[in-house]
Structure 1
Amino acid sequence: MNIAVCPGSFDPVTNGHLDIITRGANIFDKVIVAVLINAKKQSLFSVEERIELLREATAGLDNVEVESFNGLLIDYVRQRQARAVIRGLRAVSDFEYEMQMASINKKLDDHVETLFMMTSHQYSFLSSSIVKELARYSADVSDLVPPVVERALRAKFAAQP
């Protein structure tokens, strides 16, 4: 089976993320969306909430699984017997960091490839940070995130003082 891992923090998942996940699911037999557990990073949504939002957002993609992982990505990729890592690129500014990560992963395991996918034009400006900032001030994010995420953002910010 041809398996790929699509890692990220997904705080929250955006339509840009879903674009990359969907396109990856059209190429690979299975795509594992892997939510990074990073205790050093302050997240709006818990890991469990992000996993649930991703599962709901990808429910129509039969060959997509959602899990979390801790530690080195390359160790997780090996554990899941994946052959590739899928990474989305929005702009040239993303490339330098992603190239460093791909290079170190290749050094650690020469059998794992990194596949870079350019985000579709309509999502080239989109990030989870932008979505959170817009939602914090009650701006319309309905065309930026799946409906389940829009509802979760409204609920999360309504609960904050």
Structure 2
Amino acid sequence: MVIPPRIGPGRPAAYCADPDHNPVRAHRATRRFADKAAASAEQTDAGRLAAELERARARGVEAERARHLAEVDAHAARRERDAALALRDLAVEDAADARDAAAEAVSRMRHEFDREVAAVAAVADAEIARAHTAHTFGGRRPRLTA
């Protein structure tokens, strides 16, 4: 004879409807539902294994997709790095060209300045010589004979 569980709060634990929580029926429940549990466990295991396999495949696909995206990002980063290095090389070449042009301009300017100073010095030397001659002889210049 099976005693039905009482409805409502405060019912004794012995009459709990759950066989796992019922100490009176626990030993009967294990024997009674063992065959059903074994059959459903096999089905559940097969379903669980299929679901687990599907999840593993999905994880594999996601990992492959992530690897591919990482590879694409790495290639893009390499291209950006190569472009940056090329720009740096161009900047270094431009700086070297500008430095060479500046050195050449400075050298040319110094040469022109030296020529101008030499011309002014020659004029000054001629003026000094003329003044010296005029001062030395005064009004007693020797006659120029032809």
Same fold (TM over 0.5): no
Task: Select the structure that is richer in strand.
Answer: 1
Give the structure, 1 or 2, with the largest relative contact order (CA under 8 Å, sep 6 or more): 1
Using the size of structure 1 for normalisation, the TM-score is 0.17
Using the size of structure 2 for normalisation, the TM-score is 0.19
Determine which structure has more spread, i.e. the larger CA radius of gyration.
2
Task: Select the structure that is richer in helix.
Answer: 2
